Amino acid sequence: MAEVAITVPCYNEADRLKCDAFVDFVRQHRDVVFIFVDDGSTDGTAHLLKSIARSEPNNVQLITLETNRGKAEAVRQGTLSAIAAGASYVGYWDADLATPLHAVMEFVGELKKKSDLLLVMGARVQLLGRTIVRKRYRHYLGRVFATVASFVLRMPVYDTQCGAKMFVASEPVALAFRDPFISRWVFDVEILARLVCRGNVNPQVAICEYPLFEWQDVKGSKIKLKDFWIALWDLGRIHFTYKRC
């Protein structure tokens, strides 16, 4: 296994998957492996993933889930595979590349600079000198969600739901991914709860939010407005599951 292994969950991504971007990246970074998890896709996603794997068999791996089990399980399966294979850094990245791949090495660089860090999380913060393009209503719903998530987690987190995260492969991280998640979509919040509850980590020391230089909404997102209310319900479930920590 290469030093860095990144899980890319895929469900019906045939129209959004930028195959050339992934291939070009691994040709420039031979220490990075992508683990694509096909989460029961019913379009041409499987064909595209096999094409990527054939072009770069040493840097691309495929995991196929026969039925759709949700992003949480797809990410969990890929991450556990990466840890078991011996990668030093494991992460997950949205297939649409809303976060450009060049940020991968920025995240790894942050983890290498600070020995106490276990997790670097992308944060979509609109600052001068950064290009964050996001639909206005999704931004404001995100701020509401983040406020509730901070209450549930009892930590001042700005953006739990950015689909770009990188971990140090370690016992606390393995424990965080060991069991299936409560939620199919807001499992990112549960990962943070598990790191604190199971891994006994100090979030102010072990977790860093990294303001992205680029992020852009990509057409075709599976998240709909109604999912916001489901997500809030799942936050409640996470709260009652981990509130004693």
The full set of domain ranges for the chain reads: 4-242
**What does DSSP say about strands 131-133 and 89-93: parallel, antiparallel, or unpaired?**
unpaired
Cα–Cα distance between 101 and 1 in angstroms, integer? 19
DSSP bridge pairs for 121: 165, 209
Q: Name the one residue in this structure whose structure tokens are 């797809």.
A: 74
Q: Name the one residue in this structure whose structure tokens are 């794997």.
A: 53
User: Do residues 208 and 118 make contact, with C-beta atoms less than 8 angstroms apart?
Assistant: no
Residue 219 is predicted with a pLDDT of 80
The CATH number that domain 4-242 falls under is: 3.90.550.10
Helix (H) or strand (E) holding 215: strand 214-216
Q: 172-195, pLDDT tens digit by residue?
A: 999 999 999 999 889 999 999 999
Work out the mean pLDDT of the chain and round it to a whole number. Answer: 94
Q: Which amino acid is at 88?
A: S
Residue 52 is predicted with a pLDDT of 97
Q: 78-119, pLDDT tens digit by residue?
A: 999 999 999 999 999 999 999 999 999 999 999 999 999 999
CB atoms within 10 A of CB 93: 25
Residue by residue, pLDDT tens for the chain (245 residues) are 799 999 999 999 999 999 999 999 999 999 999 999 999 999 999 999 999 999 999 999 999 999 999 999 999 999 999 999 999 999 999 999 999 999 999 999 999 999 999 999 999 999 999 999 998 888 888 899 999 999 999 999 999 999 999 999 999 999 999 999 999 889 999 999 999 999 999 999 999 999 999 999 988 666 666 778 888 899 999 999 998 77
Secondary structure of 129-181 as H, E, C letters: CCEEECCHHHHHHHHHHHHHHHHHHCCCCCCCCCCEEEEECCHHHHHHHCCCC
Cα–Cα distance between 173 and 167 in angstroms, integer? 7
